[in-house]
Structure 1
Amino acid sequence: MESPDPLFRRRLLLESLTLLAADAQSQVAWLAKHDVVTDEIALDFDHAFRMAEALVEEGRLGRGVLPDLREIDAVLSEMSGAEDADRWMRDALSVDEGWNQARRLARRVLVAELGEWQQPLPEISVIR
C-alpha cells in the first residue's frame, strides 16, 4: 500500500499540533462539538507524530522541531501511564501541568513551522 501524500501527512501533524496548542477553553469546545473524549487530542498527535521523521527526511518539516515533538510524545506517554484518570477529564485541560507543557511545546513547533501558533482548529469526521 502506498503511503499518504507528504503534504497530507504534514497537514495531519500540523492539525494535531494546532489542537494541542489551543487554549483549554477552545479544546473543550472542540471536544464537545465533535462529541469525542479528551484522549482523542493525544491520540491524534500520536498518529501524526509517527510520520515526523519521514517528513523531516523529505524536507517537509524542519529538523529543529524534532526535539519538541519528541518531548510532547514523552509528556503524553507519561500521562497515559499515569493511574490518575482525572488527567484525561476535560477539566484537566486547564489545570494539569502535562497538558500545559504539551500546549507550550506544540505552540513552539507551530511558530517554527508556520510563523504563528494560532490556527483554525481542524474539522474531523467521526465514524460511529
Structure 2
Amino acid sequence: MSLSATIFSSAQLTVEDFKQVILSSGGYVSSGIPHRGSISEGNSDIWLALHSKDVIEEFSDADDRQEWQDVLGDVPQVMVEINLDHTEHAKLMYLKVFLRFAKAWPCVLHDVDDSVLSCRSVLLKYKACLG
C-alpha cells in the first residue's frame, strides 16, 4: 500500500494546468477521467490524479473541508491526489511537486503525516528534507 497526500487549490485548475506541472517535472500524463500522471526519479515514483470539487464533497466530511478552507483561505475547487511509493526520495518528490503547483495557484497540502500545511510550511519541510 502506498502513502498518499492531497493538494487542494482554490483556483479552477484545468486539465492543461495539471498536465503542464507533471510534464515540466519530467513526468507522463494519460488520458481518461480522472486525469492521471506519474513522475519517476531513479527508483522512486509518485502518481497523481486530478479531481473536481464534486469529488472533494463526495469523499470528505465537512470538518476536513473546513480545515482545508481555513488554511487555504478560500473554498477548495480542485484536488490533486498523490500516491507515493515507499522510498525516501518519493517523500521529497511530492513536496517538490506541491511547490510547483503552489507557485502558480493558491494551494494547501494534506500531507502523508495527516497534517494540513500551507505553502510556507511545505517549503520549510522541503528544505528540512534536503538537509
Q: TM (normalized to structure 1)? A: 0.30
Higher strand share: 2
Higher helix share: 1
**Larger RCO (alpha carbons 8 Å, 6+ apart):** 1
Q: TM (normalized to structure 2)? A: 0.29
